[in-house]
Amino acid sequence: MVKIKKDNSTEHKILEAARQIFFDKGMAGARMQDIADAAGINKALLHYYFRSKERLFENIFIDAIGNLFPKLSSILESEKTVFEKIELICVEYITQMQQTPYLPIFILSEASRQPEHFLKQIWNKHKPPLKPFVYMIETSIKQGKIKPVHPMQLLMNILSLCIFPFMAKPLLQQVTSINKKEYDAMMKERKKTVPQLVIQSIKK
């Protein structure tokens, strides 16, 4: 049997095709055949590069996290004000969710199914430094810049407001009867409205 040498350009085409299929159909709706067709290769070759849909998604997921977390770390460790940091964190999260809206559901699914393995993967060299965030909030409270708030409560509020609309997109679209273009415009608008809501809730 002749072993095929893996080609970086082919792997790149597969990942780009898979990223678009996952974006359009989500993790559950995506099929390996769809990805192979989009990449312009046969299914056997796709399986040679990536043995399963889950393994393929894992590669895309790790790449997305590797793109987002360093940006968050840079924001948290910067000299910007507490309000500037909140605004930038919201913008980065929502921007990433716009590019990979299937990630939140995948994260919850994997975290519930195999939490230790998943956290080891997700935090690998990319864990955002939470201590500067906690210190920033506690210091801002002592200085009278913001209302008393538990740093983790504030963080959960930020993440919930940024991520929930992407997780609940199908339900929200059905309830509101808005189309994809309108929904995408609303998500873009949230880059301004979410930090405004968060900041107003803690601002003195």
pLDDT digits (tens, 9 = 90+) for 146-195: 999 999 999 999 999 999 998 888 888 888 898 889 999 999 999 999 99
pLDDT digits (tens, 9 = 90+) for 97-135: 888 887 777 777 766 766 676 666 666 656 677 888 899
Nearest to 87 by CA among 164, 193, 166, 187: 193
Answer with the residue of higher pLDDT: 125 or 33. Answer: 33
Domain 53-202 sits in which CATH superfamily? Tetracycline Repressor, domain 2 (1.10.357.10)
Residue 79 DSSP code = S
Answer with the residue of higher pLDDT: 19 or 8. Answer: 19
* Alpha-carbon gap, residue 160 to 151, rounded angstroms: 14
Q: Tell me the residue type at 20.
A: Q
Distances (CA, A) of 61 to 4, 58, 94, 177: 26, 5, 16, 30
Domain range list for the chain: 1-51, 53-202
Specify the pLDDT at position 32: 92
Specify the pLDDT at position 147: 96
CB atoms within 10 A of CB 4: 11
Domain 1-51 sits in which CATH superfamily? Homeodomain-like (1.10.10.60)
Question: What does the DSSP assignment read for 134-193?
Answer: HHHHHHHHHTTSB----HHHHHHHHHHHHHHHHHTHHHHHHHH---HHHHHHHHHHHHHH
